[in-house]
């Protein structure tokens, strides 16, 4: 029989947080080389180079307006949607050249999922929210759909809360539940990278805490790149941190490294001032 095999260890499928598997490895999953982004004639991000390591959580920190979100959007080519946006440099994702104009971006986005600042479940039922992307990518069989949907919802700890109302509107869920549904919607496509643009900033503190623990639980299985303005959160969850800063109205990467040293013994005085709360 062709029953889909559950691809997750049991510890991930229920309730409380079990801390991630043997963490991440310093193996490059996304290699970014001299990446620049411009909107029209205005350069907003200049020559950023860094490695995103497999299975790790990399936090992008820095003041608002230094285009960390633009950086994030280049990684799944969502910048394509912005009229007049130009991206230069190189991004290697496994064996893929992300910026290759001939690349199948739909396939890329399936493997590089994205979570937005404001929860954006579609105005459909909970079930349809997860089913729609799956169907779009060719999954049609009812039993496979149901299994994948349940797995994704269990993964984000939402199954028990919504199992009885899968067919009710997703927009009736609370903000935190909506954001976890959006994470489930990304996970259901089995991506290997998750890009998160301040996923907790629109949530109340309790929901924010739940989502934060969920993100920690994703470590090891997914490569996570998260933009956050919450430095304490970055310290709690990230393995690596990248500090961005505006220089002459252009966003630049100032310092990148393991999270703890970056926060405790930063090399650059700008980083030191920012993480100690003296600037930014």
Partner 1 sequence: MPSHAMDRAFTCAIWSAAVLVTSAFLWLLGDLVWHGMAHLSWSFLVSEPMNAGRSGGIAPILVSTLLILAVALAAAVPLGLGAAAWLAEYTRRDGALGQAVRLSLDVLAGVPSIIFGLFGNVFFSVFLGLGFSMLSGGLTLACMILPIFIRTCEAGLSAVSDDWRHGAAALGMTRAAALWHILLPAAASAIVAGLMLGIGRATAETAALIFTSGYVDRMPESLSDSGRALAVHIYDLSMNVTGGDGAAYASALVLIVLIVAINTGALALSDRWWTRRIATS
User: Which residues bind to partner 1, rule: CB under 8 A?
Assistant: 76, 78, 81, 83, 105-110, 113-114, 116, 118, 120, 122-125, 132-133, 136-137, 168-169, 171-172, 182, 185-186, 189
Minimum Å gap between C-beta 170 and partner 1 is 8
Judge whether 253 and 49 are in contact, CB under 8 Å: yes
* C-beta of 108 vs 262, nearer to partner 1: 108
* C-beta of 15 vs 83, nearer to partner 1: 83
Strand blocks (E) in 24-121: 28-39, 42-53, 57-61, 85-93, 96-97, 112-115
* C-beta of 218 vs 241, nearer to partner 1: 218
| Pairing state between β 85-93 and 28-39 | antiparallel
DSSP helix/strand/coil, 55: coil
**For residues 135 and 129, what is the distance between their CA atoms, to the nearest angstrom?**
11
Minimum Å gap between C-beta 267 and partner 1 is 34
Minimum Å gap between C-beta 114 and partner 1 is 4
Minimum Å gap between C-beta 111 and partner 1 is 8
Minimum Å gap between C-beta 224 and partner 1 is 15
* C-beta of 33 vs 167, nearer to partner 1: 167
* C-beta of 17 vs 201, nearer to partner 1: 201
Cα 253 from chain centroid (whole Å):
19
Strand arrangement, sheet containing 96-97: 96-97, 85-93, 28-39, 42-53, 250-258, 240-247, 57-61, 223-227, 193-197, 112-115
């Amino acid at each position: 029989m062709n029953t889909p095999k559950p691809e997750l260890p049991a510890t991930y499928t229920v309730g409380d947080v079990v801390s991630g598997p043997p963490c991440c490895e310093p193996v490059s999953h996304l290699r970014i080389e001299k990446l620049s982004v411009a909107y029209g004639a205005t350069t907003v991000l200049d020559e950023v180079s860094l490695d995103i390591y497999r299975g790790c959580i990399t936090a992008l920190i820095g003041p608002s307006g230094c285009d960390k979100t633009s950086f994030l959007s280049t990684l799944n080519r969502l910048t394509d949607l912005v009229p007049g946006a130009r991206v230069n440099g190189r991004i290697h994702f496994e064996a893929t050249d992300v910026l290759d104009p001939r690349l199948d971006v739909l396939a890329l986005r399936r493997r590089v999922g994205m979570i937005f600042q404001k929860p954006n479940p579609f105005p459909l039922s909970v079930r349809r929210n997860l089913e729609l992307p799956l169907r779009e990518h060719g999954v049609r069989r009812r039993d496979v759909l149901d299994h994948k949907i349940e797995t994704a919802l269990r993964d984000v700890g939402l199954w028990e809360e919504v199992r009885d109302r899968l067919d009710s509107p997703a927009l009736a869920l609370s903000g935190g539940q909506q954001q976890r549904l959006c994470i489930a919607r990304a996970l259901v496509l089995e991506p290997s990278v998750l890009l998160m643009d301040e996923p907790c900033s629109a949530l109340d503190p309790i929901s924010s805490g739940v989502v934060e623990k969920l993100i920690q639980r994703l470590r090891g299985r997914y490569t996570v790149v998260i933009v956050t303005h919450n430095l304490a959160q970055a310290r709690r969850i990230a393995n690596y941190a990248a500090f961005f800063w505006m220089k002459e109205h252009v966003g630049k990467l100032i310092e990148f490294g393991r999270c703890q040293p970056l926060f405790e013994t930063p090399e650059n005085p700008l980083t030191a001032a920012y993480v100690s709360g003296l600037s930014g």
